[in-house]
Each structure stands twice: as C-alpha cells, then as structure tokens.
A and B are shown apart, each in its own frame.
Chain A
Amino acid sequence: MHRRQFLSVTALAAGGALLTRVAFARADERPSRFVLVILRGALDGLAAVPPYGDRDYPGLRREFALRAPGEHGAALPLDGFFGLHPSLVFLQQCYSERELIVLHALASPYRERSHFDGQDVLENGGLRPHASQSGWLNRALAAAPATARGEAGVALGQNVPLVMRGPAAVTSWSPSRLSALDEDTLARIADLYATDKLLSTRLADALAADALAKPQPAQAKRAPYAEVARAAAGFLRQEDGPKVAVFDTNGWDTHANEGGAEGQLAGRLAALDVGLATLRQELGPVWRDTAVLLVTEFGRTAAINGTRGTDHGTATAAFLLGGAVAGGRVIADWPGLAARHLYQGRDLAPTLDLRSVLKGLLAEHLSVPSRALEQAVFPDSTAAKLLRGLVRA
C-alpha cells in the first residue's frame, strides 16, 4: 500500500481525528501562524532584559550587572532604560525592525517557587497547579474558527507538553534516527490498534506529521535549537499543515555561576537567539504572518546569591516577535528594584499578568472569540484584562 493512501485509511480508522481541522484566517485571508517557545527552568529576566536605567540594578547584580549600551560587552539598546543581553543579537535586530515586543515584570498567577508547579500553571492556564489536564493553547485551538484545512498544532518533541494537550487534534514530531517502518508491518500494526483508541490516534497523527516534516541533517552543537526551529518552520510553511507549533528549551535554572555578558547564561541565550534567527529564515514569506512568544515559568531573585547565580523568583521578562507583531517597544509597568518594591523583599514584583498578553494574542492573532478566552481557555481570569494591539492590524 502506498504510504499516502495508507495514511488516509488510518486517519479514518482513528475516529476521524484528522478530520477535525482548524485554521486561522485574518482579514486578508492569509492564515496566522503562532509559535510558542517554553523556556523551562525560570529565565532570569533581569539578565536577559537588564534595566540598566534603574539605579538599584547595579547594586543587586554587582559584577554581573550589564552596562548601558555603547561599549563592547554592554547591553544592546532598546528604549533607553531597558537593554537586551549582548547575546541576543537577532532579537535586537527584530526590535529595530519593529518586529519585537519586550515584556517585563510579568508573571503567571503562580506565586510560589516550584519549577514544576510553576510550569504547570504556565501551561494549564488556570490559577493553580494541576487545575486542568489540558493546556490553554489546545483549548484556544479548539475554540478558534475552523475551516476544512490543516491540523491544528504540532509539538516539536517526542511527546506533547501539557500546554498543547486537550480536545483539539495535535501531533508531535521529532527527528527519527531509525529507518522508516516497513509498509506491510505498519498496516498490520494499524489493524492491531483498531480497537485501541489511544494507540490508533497516535499512530495516525504520527504518520500525518511524518508526511509533512522535512527531516534535516543533525545540527552542530553550537546551534541546538536550529534543528527544531527548522522543523517547526517546515510544518508552518505547509498550506494545509498546522498553524501552531510549540517547543521547549531547557537549561535556564541558573543557581550557580550564571555569568554576565559572558558565561553560562550568555551561551544559552546565544543558542536561543540563533534558533530564532533560523526560524525566521526558514519561514521565509510566512514570517510576516507569524508571532513567536517566548515564556518561562517565573523569574529569579533580584540579587545575585552566594554562589554567583540566582535563586527562584517571581516576575520576569518575555518576548513576542515576528512579522505579524506590532513591535519596536517595551511593555512594562516598572515596579522598581529598590528593596521596598521587591516582592517579598527579594524578587522583581509582577505588574503584568501573563494571561493578559496571552488573551490579547489569541484574540487578535488567532481570532479566538473572547467568550471562549474568558471561559474555556483562561477560567478565573477576569482580573487579567485582555491586552490589545500586540499584532499589526
């Protein structure tokens, strides 16, 4: 049997999972694309987006404080108060081309300091850890206007993270290092799974994703996110492919020897920056319809700890970039870093609810109805007012 043919058979066998198709259209009929990048481990927002204009910043960060833009190794310029970490060269270029919004002093509703619960809240869209078994992005996809084309979303990785789990049809994809399965064996396995709902759905999803992906040679160590960015672009470029992609990045939990302009965090940020540049390049003309959001579970302590790192904190920074983004600005209601303004005397205080950003983006970029946003996608979020104007009209 031909693989394409086989694919459609398994899709039907899987209870029509592939027939539940969702796409997004803006006024000009060019479908919007959305990429969510989760920075797991709690990104140090004060290092990635240093507020060098805050008089208390140098004292808290001491020898790791980044200097005002100008000399080598200093922060890259944003708005005269905030800068970007010198590793974020591509992001700075996006900013100057008005394709980047930097958000600061924002936080999810979570106020404790556990990574794992923090990530759960970041992904489940509720007020508390384990509030839901599904994720806000999936629920948003389920509520977005449906057309007859395209599977809703793809997770770049072997498994689907919580934020993408739920009622809408999504799939996962990761580069395979083994030869493709024998067609006949595959058909027999599909038969064997006919009465197993989970396995038959997964198998059909996998084959659908496999047909869309464009596998690439393994990347050099210095660009660990380039491969995943290329794969994401491969999906999003397809006319009848998924319009939403999500992937994870790790290694942001910088308790010791975090470094400043150079060092551990600088290396991670540089790799991330290269990955994002690859994404733009690979998306080609689709970039102008794309918004990419980078979020983390919470921030880190305002001051450097005893081991030249930072411990778990509260508010942090986020990035929204892409050709569809109304960029070139920093959105921050800056609380200040004076001791009396710090949350519990130690962390950057949150002044912007992450859900406000997510709501605005989902409403204006993916046309998710506001009723669904308030109820199914972000329950108990009336306090977080939808933030308008993040994407170009």
Chain B
Amino acid sequence: MREPFASAIAANRFGLGARPGELATIGDNGPDWLRAQLLGGAPALAGDLRPSQLILREALQLQREIQAARKAAGNTPGAKGTQVAADNAQQKLPQLLRPIYVAEVTARLSWAVSTDRPFIERLTQFWTNHFAVSIDKQFLTGLAGSFEREAIRPHVLGNFSDLLLAVETHPAMLLYLDNHLSVGPHSPAALRLERRGGARRIGINENLAREILELHTLGVGGGYTQKDVTTFAEVITGWSIGAQGGPFAGGEPGRFVFRPELHEPGAKVALGRRYRDDGLGQGVAVLRDVARERATARFIATKLARHFVADDPPPAAVERLANAFAKSGGDLPAVYRALIDSPDAWAQPLAKYKTPSDYVISSYRGLSLPVDAGHAPLAPFEVLGQRAWQPGSPAGWPDRSPDWDGASALIQRLQWAEAVGGRLGNHRDAMQLAPQLLGANLSDATRAAVAHAASAAQGITLLLAAPEFMRR
C-alpha cells in the first residue's frame, strides 16, 4: 500500500467521502479504521419512519377503495358525483406514498452524511442495489425505504443466507417481482377454479425465481437452466402478502404470508437436488442451498470487487473474496475483511468514477451541507440521474465508469457544483477544505485552481469539479 494514500482511499473509496477532520482521524491506518467499523451491531436509521406492514396495509385498503369507486363510476356513467369520487380516490394513493418516500430519502441522506461508520453505509447501499427494487411500481414508492431498513440493514453484518431470505420474503420484493400473483397450476386454488369452470387459467409467474438465480445468487451463467427457473418458480408459489379482502384474502395484512392453497404441491427437482414438499420450507431450503453454491460466492465476490477495486476487477481480488465467502459459509464480515486485506483495493488511488449518488453524498459530507426539510434532498439525485431507489430494473444501477461518465452527465454535475458554490459562498473555505477532503490525492493543479479562484463560491465549485473529486 502507498501509505500517504491510505487514508484518502479508506475515506473516499470504502467510505462515502471524507468529512473535514476524518482523514486526520484515520491517520496512517486506513485498514484498521475500516475493520473497527465492522464491530458492533448494524446501525438502524433514526427518525419517525413507518414499518412496511403498516404502509402496505393502508395502501392495500386504499387500492380497494379506489377499485370500488371506479366500479361505482362505471355503473353510473355520466353521473358527475361518482366520477369525482373516483378521481378523488385515485389521488389518495400517491398522497399516502409520496410523503413516505420523501421522509425515507431524507432520513437515508441524513444518516449517510453524518455517520462515522461510512463503510457500513456504503455496504448497505451496495446490498440494496444488489437486491434492487425500483419505485417504477407505484407501491414501491412507499416500500423501498422500509425494505432497505427491514430486509437489508439488519443483515449487512450477518450471513448472506439470512440476508437473502429476508429479502426474498419481504413484501416489497414479492410485489416488485410479481410473486404474490404466481399460482401453482395444480394448487388447490387452481383446481378449485377449474372445477368451477373458470375461464381464466391461472398459473406461475417466473419473474422472481429467475431474478433470484440470475441477479441475487448464482449469476447469469451460474449453471442453471430454464427448467430450473420454472421449477423454482413453482417451489415459491404461495410466497405472498397478507390482505384483508380481494381474491387472496387472509394472513396478516401487509405482512409476508405463505398460502398453501396457491402452492404447487409435490416434491421437486431443482438445480440438481430433490426437495420434498413441506410448504414454505421447500423454497427456504432451495434458497439456503443456492446461497452456499460456489457460483454465488464468485458472483458476489466479483460485484464487491468491481465496487471497491476497479471496473474490471483483478482476478486475484475476486478469488480472495470468493474464497473468504466459501470458507466462512457466507459470513459477510469475513468477506469484508478479505476485501480490506486485498492489496489491489489499495493500489490505484482513484480507480472508480463516482456515481451521481456517490458524488452528491460526498459533497454533502465534505462541505457539511445541511439536509433540508421538504423535497430539497431529492433534487440532486434526480437532476444528476440517479433518483433514489429507482434503478428502473431489478439489476440495479450499473457500476462501471462508462455508465456514468457521459458528457451530458458531467455538465449536470458541474452545474450542480456551481449551484452549491453559489449557495455556500464565503461560508466555506475551499482552500482549507481541499486537503481535508482529498488528502494525498489532491493535485497541484487543483490546489492552484482553488487558490486562484475569483470568489469563494467559485473555489467551492472548482473543488467539486476537480478530477480527483469526480473519482474515488
């Protein structure tokens, strides 16, 4: 390791960007500073945030009211009153979900900006992106934040297998990837419908099963077939969400529930193993086994190394992480320690181009920007092209430079940097902050540019525009 760079790498690559004074705290021992963050439990977000069960219960209730109002309007077309009632009902869902989203984004940003365990927060965001949900689906606007708090955060310093199970049984994931709608073709419910001469055939939806194998565990090319996907989809039929009414009434509203009446019965062979049918346990057993596969260890290791080492991670680093994963049975702190111990992770001081989210959070931390109330905290993420919890696909945000270093994206960053500079003016001294944020990475050119800035505001803009601040 090149010692002078250790504190800058620890704070900016493994952490979320140095706060003033942080590099001094780290001193010349970046690895120890990171290892210390792994001790103690995983931190929870402070603030008045609601559990997903309550949010979902209310949202499901509203959805039923909306449907009822629509039906009433449809039954009496032309009647103005019922149409107005239907339109009003329609508005209630965003009125419920949007403020929850704003509160969650704000709480998450406040924590990221203030935490003195930024490595844990970066890991949390890594896992949230690995198990991505996206607010493109309306209900997810209200659930993405609580999903992260309930399924990801408690397990970030635990075992991968527990993290996986928490994620795949969380209502947000089941909703996002349609599993609550998936029905075993020979399940009691399907057979009952058939006896009644139901015209509508019901059956499986393989969305969640495929993404678990492709994106969450084995990775594409991880040795599974289309048959494995279909069978696994059958295995997890019945993994659903409790509701008060509707076709799938039952269970505690808003909570995960296993519905035997939707589950495809029978023993099944998936991924080369036979699983007897013990209801919920069948899918849990598949998840536990998949979590231990060598392909899963490699897939997770590759993604972690891409995030923390380089866009094209050196094979040695991947191998080291995969071995730590396999040897420890998926103990995540063991994998993180292997990452800290990888010489490759410390070799190139600025190997990674920051994502918009990295850029915004590191700016907030470095300049001690206040996290305002209201919608303000959402804006920079939206303008710079990475709206919170909206990667737009279950693959999550990409993690390589060409995905983020576009010409237009750069201009958006610079314009935002200029707005930040204008807002702070002479309340911050860029000259004094530059070495505190960038440490050994601070170049002579940046030092000179900031020193010769025409105004305090311009100095801040140039600091945020510096090549070494664009990267981590």
Residues of A within 8 A of B (CB): 40-41, 62-63, 112-117, 129, 133, 155, 157-160, 162, 165, 171-174, 176-182, 184-186, 188-189, 191-196, 198-199, 202-203, 205-206, 209-210, 250-251, 253, 255-256, 305-309, 311-312, 344
Give me 14 other A-B pairs in contact (C-beta within 8 A), A209-B408, A306-B183 excluded. Answer: A62-B201, A133-B402, A159-B404, A159-B408, A178-B419, A192-B449, A198-B353, A202-B405, A202-B406, A253-B393, A256-B205, A256-B207, A307-B182, A309-B178
Are the C-beta atoms of A158 and B385 separated by less than 8 Å?
Answer: yes
Query: Which residue of chain B has its CB nearest to the CB of A178?
Result: B415
Point out the residue from B220, B409, B449 that lies within 8 Å of A188, measured CB to CB. B449
Does B185 sit at the interface, judged by CB under 8 A? yes
State in angstroms the CA–CA spacing of A41 and B203 once bound together. 22
B418 touches A185 (CB 8 A): yes
Chain B residues within an 8 Å CB radius of A177: 383
- Contact (Cβ within 8 A) B404 A192: no
- What residues on A are CB-neighbors of B416 within 8 Å? 178
CB distance from B315 to the nearest CB of A (A): 15
* A307 CB contacts on chain B under 8 angstroms: 178, 181-183, 202-203, 205
Q: Within the assembled complex, what's the spacing in Å between the Cα atoms of A198 and B404?
A: 12
A21 to chain B, nearest CB (A): 16
Which chain A residues border B404 with CB–CB below 8 Å? 159
Residues in chain B near residue A172, CB distance under 8 A: 406-409
Contacts of B200 in A (CB 8 A): 63, 308
Beyond A306-B185, A306-B203, A307-B178, is A203–B418 a contact (Cβ under 8 Å)?
Answer: no
B44 at the interface (CB under 8 A from A): no
Residue of B nearest to A177 (CB): B383
Q: A210 is contacted by which of B183, B202, B206, B411 (Cβ under 8 Å)?
A: B411
Q: Count of chain B residues with Cβ under 8 Å from any Cβ of A?
A: 57
| A–B pairs, 22, beta carbons within 8 Å | A114-B214, A116-B215, A158-B412, A159-B385, A159-B406, A159-B408, A173-B408, A178-B416, A182-B418, A184-B454, A185-B461, A185-B462, A186-B414, A189-B414, A193-B467, A195-B445, A202-B406, A256-B181, A306-B185, A307-B203, A309-B205, A311-B205
The reply to whether A255 and B418 form a contact with Cβ atoms under 8 Å apart is no
Q: A181 to B415, Cβ gap below 8 A? A: yes
Judge whether B202 and A306 touch: CB under 8 Å: yes
B409 touches A158 (CB 8 A): yes
- Compute how far the CA of A192 lies from the CA of B469 in the bound complex, rounded to whole angstroms: 12
Partner of A192, one of B182, B220, B395, B465: B465
- Complex Cα distance, B316 from A198, in Å, reads 27
The answer on a CB contact under 8 Å between B136 and A157 is no
B229 CB contacts on chain A under 8 angstroms: 113
CA distance A160 to B416 in the complex (A): 20
A232 to chain B, nearest CB (A): 14
Closest residue of chain A to B237, judged by CB? Answer: A306
For window 185-211 of B, CB contacts with A under 8 Å fall at 185, 199-207, 210
Question: Which residues of A have CB within 8 Å of B182?
Answer: 306-307
B95 at the interface (CB under 8 A from A): no
CB neighbours (8 Å) of A165 from chain B are 402
Q: Residues of B with Cβ closer than 8 Å to A?
A: 136, 177-178, 181-183, 185, 199-207, 210, 214-215, 220, 226, 229, 353, 383, 385, 392-393, 395, 401-412, 414-416, 418-419, 445-446, 449, 453-454, 458, 461-462, 465-467, 470
Point out the residue from A117, A173, A188 that lies within 8 Å of B462, measured CB to CB.
A188
**CB distance B220 to A114 under 8 Å?**
yes
Given known pairs A113-B210, A250-B392, A306-B204, the reply for A178 and B405 (CB within 8 Å) is: no
A residues within 8 A CB of B415?
Answer: 176, 178-181
Shortest CB distance B201–A (Å): 7
Whether B205 lies near A157 (C-beta < 8 A) is no
Which A-B residue pairs are the 7 nearest by beta carbons? A306-B203, A159-B406, A206-B407, A178-B415, A307-B181, A205-B407, A158-B409
The one of A159, A198, A209, A255 that contacts B403, using a Cβ cutoff of 8 Å: A159
- Residue in A closest to B409 when the chains form the complex, CB atoms: A158
Residue of B nearest to A155 (CB): B406
Provide the residues of chain B in CB contact with A116, threshold 8 Å. 215, 220, 393, 395
A344, B418: Cβ atoms closer than 8 Å: no
Instruction: Give every chain B residue within 8 A of A251 (Cβ-Cβ).
Output: 136
Closest to B453 in A: A188
- Whether the Cβ atoms of A203 and B410 lie closer than 8 Å is yes
Inter-chain contact A203/B449, CB cutoff 8 Å? no
Q: Are B393 and A115 in contact (CB under 8 A)?
A: yes
Complex contacts, B462 vs chain A, CB 8 Å? 185, 188-189, 192
Tell me if B205 and A306 are in contact (CB < 8 A).
yes
Residue of A nearest to B213 (CB): A114
Q: In the complex, what residues of A have CB within 8 A of residue B385's CB?
A: 158-159, 174
Contact A185 B458 (CB under 8 A): yes
Q: Which residues on the A side are within 8 Å of B136 (C-beta)? A: 251
Q: Which B residues lie within 8 Å of A198 (CB)?
A: 353, 401, 405
Complex alpha-carbon distance, A195 and B205, angstroms = 53
User: Could you tell me the distance in whole angstroms from the C-beta of B205 to the nearest C-beta in chain A?
Assistant: 4
A267–B403 CA distance with the chains assembled, in angstroms: 29
Q: Which residues of chain B come closer than 8 Å to A117, judged between CB atoms?
A: 220
Give complex CA distance A238, B383 in Å.
27
The answer to whether A115 and B454 have CB atoms under 8 Å apart is no
Q: Which residue of A lies closest to B465 (CB)?
A: A189
Q: How far is the CB of A41 from chain B (nearest CB, A)?
A: 8
Q: Which of A189, A196, A203 has the most CB of B within 10 A?
A: A189
Measured CB to CB, the closest approach of chain B to A121, in angstroms, equals 12
Complex alpha-carbon distance, A44 and B453, angstroms: 55
Q: What residue of chain B has the Cβ atom nearest to residue A180's Cβ? A: B415
A203–B407 CA distance with the chains assembled, in angstroms: 6
**Bound: A115/B392 CA distance, A:** 12
Q: Is the CB of B402 within 8 A of A255?
A: no
In the assembled complex, the Cα of A238 lies from the Cα of B177 at a distance in Å of 44
**Contact indicator B467/A181 (Cβ below 8 Å):** no
> Considering the chains assembled together, what is the distance between the CA atoms of A40 and B394 in angstroms?
13
Alpha-carbon distance between A96 and B135 when the two chains are bound, in angstroms: 40
Count chain B CB atoms within 10 A of each CB in A203, A250, A307 and give the residue with the most. A307
Q: A113-B210, A158-B385 are in contact. Are A176 and B410 (CB under 8 A)?
A: no
- For B207, list chain A residues within 8 Å (CB): 255-256, 311
Residue among A40, A160, A194 making CB contact with B402, cutoff 8 Å? A160
A199 touches B204 (CB 8 A): no
Q: Are A255 and B205 neighbours in the complex by a CB distance under 8 Å?
A: yes
